[in-house]
């Protein structure tokens, strides 16, 4: 046991970064929050073969799958990154959300996400 402890002390040398002080603790992601990015380049390897209507349909289908996953996994909040663009994806995302009982949403924090994200609050009784 002593050799093991000494080994750990030796490994803590300059090659490994020291632990950050408590006041600078790294903020861990909140497990009750799920974040999804609907930018097409994040979802498919190559979008060139897709027609414009197919792109939006694909993004909405992915969004609905992830929304249902968030509800199933009892997440409190879903952050949907849809980008700014012409606003069509944002509009479609919000249309879908209106069909879910108890779901509330608004623009996500612009300081963190810019103007291209929606914060969705999921009902706690799901």
Q: CB under 8 Å to 37, separation ≥6 — which residues?
A: 81
The more confidently predicted of residues 18 and 108 is 108
Does residue 18 register a pLDDT over 90? no
In tens, the pLDDT along 39-54 reads 999 999 999 989 988 9
pLDDT of residue 25: 54
Q: Is residue 30 part of a domain?
A: yes
Contact 60, 93 (CB under 8 A): yes
* CA end-to-end span of the chain: 49
Q: Is residue 89 part of a domain?
A: yes
Does residue 8 register a pLDDT over 80? no
Q: Is residue 14 part of a domain?
A: no
Number of domains in the chain: 1
Domain that holds residue 113: 26-121
Q: Is residue 32 part of a domain?
A: yes
In the chain, the percentage of residues whose pLDDT exceeds 70 is 76
Does residue 86 register a pLDDT over 90? no
pLDDT of residue 63: 98
pLDDT of residue 50: 92
In tens, the pLDDT along 52-85 reads 889 999 999 999 999 999 999 999 999 999 998 8
Q: Is residue 86 part of a domain?
A: yes
Q: Is residue 2 part of a domain?
A: no
Q: Is residue 8 part of a domain?
A: no
CATH number at residue 109: 3.30.1370.110
């Amino acid at each position: 046991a002593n050799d093991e402890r000494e080994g750990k002390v030796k490994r803590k040398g300059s090659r490994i970064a020291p632990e950050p002080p408590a006041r600078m603790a790294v903020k861990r992601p909140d497990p009750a929050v799920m974040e999804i990015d609907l930018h097409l380049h994040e979802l498919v390897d190559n979008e060139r073969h897709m027609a414009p209507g197919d792109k939006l349909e694909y993004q909405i289908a992915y969004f609905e799958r992830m929304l249902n996953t968030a509800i199933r996994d009892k997440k409190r909040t879903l952050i949907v990154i849809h980008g700014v663009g012409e606003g069509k994806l944002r509009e479609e995302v919000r249309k879908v959300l209106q069909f879910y009982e108890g779901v509330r949403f608004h623009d996500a924090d612009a300081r963190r996400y810019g103007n291209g994200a929606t914060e969705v609050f999921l009902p706690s009784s799901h």
